[in-house]
């Protein structure tokens, strides 16, 4: 099995920043309440803000798994992996096209920041793409099957493409 | 030191980092735009002290309208108060364009967008400093701890971005010619008035302070959509060139069925 690493990026910084924003919003709401007498502090608001702050945990976990992003190629399958939360398996015989292009991003996004794109992301030009990439839109290696499109950003793009073509006979 | 200054430092650092980072990252890591973040810093204090305040005082005295009358204020004067900040601020935010350094990138839609956003955010950062200075002059706020001013933090973060979008609208128009520049300026004035409507109604007692503050949120949504429209429009020309440069490594022939 061949393993290819993604292009270098600092996308994890955006995930950490996102977690800090979530924590910041919660703290910004809670801190002024601390100036009130203890019996006047609205406990519901404290619980709500603590719940919101919990959303920072998965965001930080995604940042921690950033170094685990990789593309595995065996005789029959190309597998895109990101930590324990993302595994896309692409049977080689189902691949219709492999092309490198820039994608046009849409404001309606799931997990996409400069330097990182994960899970299914809508693009205005090619539709939904299952992303496991260290770029949101630039220089994406787009692998299309009849059912799905996948976006990846291998550091050794020529090596991955050559290995893929050798297996699918392109 | 007045406690709001601590929150002002945090606000400036986070706002400059977030919006400056956005400009830097989305403009293709062009450091030129980071320099523009410095040019608008003194403009808010200048326009407030040298233009807006004297103008409002002069018109109020000339028309014999006493200040702070609440709902007793004549309607025309309320409209005047609503329009003074947009008209003056949207104009003064363009002042850095007198420098060749600031004009350098306004030769493309994307250059106009990022120049406008950087100059507007810069004005917003300066305004955050000016507002903090104003609050610090009121003894009633001196007793609060610094972390009681998170409302200031949230408001200034949003307003910085909105200033950026409004200036981007003007400069995007300017890049298209004089007629579009006027249209862009009037559009920015309209957007600015919309942004200020909640706080003005709050000052008149027609909205509660909470509702006036929350009125920023729908405005922020509108400004985000406008920013996205500008960004996509700017990217359109670049995208068409890039699509032409697409590399096809493999394409299964139509008569080849998957095994």
Does residue A1 form part of some domain?
Answer: no
Domain boundary residue among A26, A47, A64? A64
Which of A22, A48, A64 is the endpoint of a domain?
A64
Number of helices followed by number of strands (H, E) in chain B: 11, 1
Interface test with B, best of A12, A91, A96, A116 (most B CBs within 10 A): A96
Beta-carbon contacts of residue A124 (< 8 Å; ≥ 6 apart) = A104, A105, A106, B232
**Residue A73 falls within a domain, yes or no?**
no
| Mean pLDDT of the region A90-110 | 85
Domain region containing A26? 7-64
Which residues in chain B are closer than 8 Å to A94, comparing Cβ atoms?
258
Output phi, psi for A117, to 5 deg.
-145, 125
What total of structural domains would you count in chain A? 2
A86 is a domain residue: no
pLDDT profile of chain B (259 residues), mean per 10: 92 93 83 93 96 92 78 84 95 95 88 95 97 93 87 90 96 92 95 91 81 84 89 70 74 66
Instruction: Report d(CA A88, CA A80) in Å as an integer.
Output: 5
- Residue A43 pLDDT exceeds 50: yes
Q: Is A100 on the interface with B (CB under 8 A)?
A: yes
Q: Is residue A163 part of a domain?
A: yes
Domain ranges of chain B: 4-236
What is the residue-averaged pLDDT of chain A?
A: 89
Q: Are residues A60 and A101 in the same domain?
A: no
Per-residue pLDDT of A120-157, as tens digits, reads 998 888 889 999 999 988 899 999 999 999 999 999 99
Residue-wise pLDDT for A71-82, tens only, equals 999 999 999 999
What is residue B88's predicted lDDT score, i.e. its pLDDT? 97
Identity of the residue in B224, B250, B259 whose CB atom sits nearest the CB atom of A165:
B250
- Same-domain status, A54 and A107: no
On whether both A41 and A108 belong to a single domain, the answer is no
* Global pTM value: 0.74
Q: Please state the ipTM of this predicted complex.
A: 0.81
Residues A96, A56, single domain; the answer is no
Burial A104-140 (b: 16+ CB within 10 A, else e): bbbeeeebbbbbbbbeebebeeeeebbbbbbbbbebb
Does residue A152 lie in a domain region?
Answer: yes
Give the lowest-confidence range in A4-8, A36-40, B173-177.
A36-40
Chain B, nearest residue to A32 by Cα: B148
User: Best mutation site among B142, B250, B254, B255 for testing chain A: the one with the most A CBs within 10 Å?
Assistant: B250
Judgement on whether residues A11 and A49 belong to the same structural domain of the protein = yes
Gap between the Cα atoms of B211 and B226, Å rounded: 23
In the structure, what pLDDT confidence band is assigned to residue A170 with cuts at 50, 70 and 90? low
Q: How far apart are CA B250 and CA B56, in angstroms?
A: 68
User: Using CB atoms within 10 A of its CB, is residue A50 exposed (0-12), middle (13-18) or buried (19+)?
Assistant: exposed
- How many angstroms separate the CA atoms of A8 and A14, rounded? 14
Strands of chain B, DSSP E: 247-251
| A112, A58: one domain | no
Q: Are residues A54 and A104 in the same domain?
A: no
Assigned token pair, B120: 């507007």
Domain assignment present for A77:
no
């Amino acid at each position: 099995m061949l393993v290819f690493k993604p292009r270098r990026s600092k996308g994890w910084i955006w995930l950490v920043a996102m977690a800090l924003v979530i924590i910041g919003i919660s703290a910004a709401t809670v801190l002024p309440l601390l100036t009130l007498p203890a019996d006047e502090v609205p406990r519901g608001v404290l619980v709500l803000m603590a719940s919101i702050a919990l959303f920072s945990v998965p965001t930080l976990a995604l940042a921690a798994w950033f170094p685990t992003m990789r593309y595995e190629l065996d005789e029959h399958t190309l597998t895109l992996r990101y930590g324990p939360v993302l595994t896309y398996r692409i049977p080689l015989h189902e691949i219709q096209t492999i092309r490198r292009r820039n994608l046009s991003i849409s404001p309606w996004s799931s997990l996409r920041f400069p330097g990182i794109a994960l899970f299914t992301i809508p693009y205005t030009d090619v539709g939904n793409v299952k992303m496991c990439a260290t770029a949101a839109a630039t220089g994406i290696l787009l692998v299309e099957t009849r059912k799905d499109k996948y976006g990846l950003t291998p550091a050794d793009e020529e090596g991955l493409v050559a290995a893929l073509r050798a297996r699918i006979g392109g | 030191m007045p406690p709001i200054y601590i929150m002002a430092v945090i606000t400036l650092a986070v706002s400059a980092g977030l919006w400056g980072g956005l400009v830097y990252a989305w403009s293709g890591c062009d450091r030129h735009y980071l320099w523009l973040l410095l040019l608008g810093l003194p403009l808010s204090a200048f326009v407030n002290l040298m233009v807006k305040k004297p103008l409002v005082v002069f018109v109020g005295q000339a028309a014999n309208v006493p200040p702070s009358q609440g709902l007793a204020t004549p309607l025309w004067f309320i409209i005047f108060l609503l329009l003074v900040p947009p008209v003056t601020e949207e104009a003064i935010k363009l002042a850095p364009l007198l420098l060749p350094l600031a004009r350098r990138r306004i030769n493309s839609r994307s250059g106009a967008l990022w120049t406008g956003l950087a100059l507007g955010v810069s004005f917003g950062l300066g305004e955050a400093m000016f507002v903090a200075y104003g609050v610090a002059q009121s003894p009633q706020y001196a007793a609060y701890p610094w972390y009681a001013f998170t409302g200031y933090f949230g408001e200034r973060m949003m307003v910085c971005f909105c200033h950026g979008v409004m200036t981007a609208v003007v400069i995007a128009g300017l890049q298209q010619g004089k007629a579009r520049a006027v249209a862009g300026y009037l559009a920015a004035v309209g957007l600015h008035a919309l942004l200020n409507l909640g706080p003005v109604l709050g000052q008149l007692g027609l909205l509660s302070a909470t509702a006036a503050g929350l009125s920023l949120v729908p405005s922020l949504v509108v400004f985000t959509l406008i920013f996205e429209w500008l960004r996509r429009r700017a990217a359109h020309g670049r995208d068409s060139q890039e699509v032409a440069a697409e590399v096809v490594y493999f394409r299964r022939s139509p008569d080849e069925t998957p095994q």
